[in-house]
Amino acid sequence: GPGTPGAAGDFGWKVLTSSNPAVVKSKLNSELANGRLAMIAIIGMFFQEGITGDIWGGLAKTAKIFAFEKELGVQSPVGFWDPAGWTEDGSIENYKRRRQTEIKHGRIAMLATMGYITPELYGKFPGFLSPSLGIKFADVPNGLGAISKVPAAGWGQIIAYMAFCEVSSKQGPGTPGAAGDFGWKVLTSSNPAVVKSK
């Protein structure tokens, strides 16, 4: 009932908890966070089983995906994660192409996130985005609202720069670009172990 130790999650079993109220509170916070994750996981498993008839989505039926368990990007506790089943064919060429695309899109997403957050925290550039149209940087809102404010010529410049980045370096199989290394060592390193870690 309300006000009892059981209502607060304390059933008197001190093996995994503690008599110290601060430790109990910390452990209950962890339990709440993990319980929320477990609730999402079980709903996902029910959904997966409803769609595929298998809680593993067919992944347990093939050993091909385990060929990628030692690849870059595989992290605990999930290990190699391919919920869409794109690697079920076991093709290393397709895997490497998708990993290259994932690195590229991840970098773009990180830059976009910083581009969204930074003006909110530190303000916008002074002056004009487009002097001929009288548009100041301060006039451009953050987020999706910016799409309609940036002039067509500005979008043309953005698209031209994206195309330049895409074609200005070799990214074919076996090249450093395919592995995400474009030679820009400001945020990375010349040490291969450090590059892999980053």
pLDDT digits (tens, 9 = 90+) for 87-99: 877 788 888 888 8
**What CA–CA distance (Å, rounded) separates 108 from 116?**
12
Please report the pLDDT score of residue 187 as a whole number: 63
At position 86, the amino acid (one-letter code) is W
Instruction: Give strand ranges (E) for 4-150.
Output: 128-130, 135-136
Please report the pLDDT score of residue 105 as a whole number: 84
Q: How many CB atoms lie within 10 A of CB 183?
A: 8
The SS3 of residue 172 is: coil
Point out the residues of the chain with pLDDT beneath 70.
5-17, 28, 52-67, 72, 183-189, 195-198
Please report the pLDDT score of residue 53 as a whole number: 66
Contact predicate 90/67, CB 8 Å? yes
Please report the pLDDT score of residue 9 as a whole number: 62
Contact predicate 129/139, CB 8 Å? yes
Handedness of CA 174, 175, 177, 181 (dihedral sign): positive
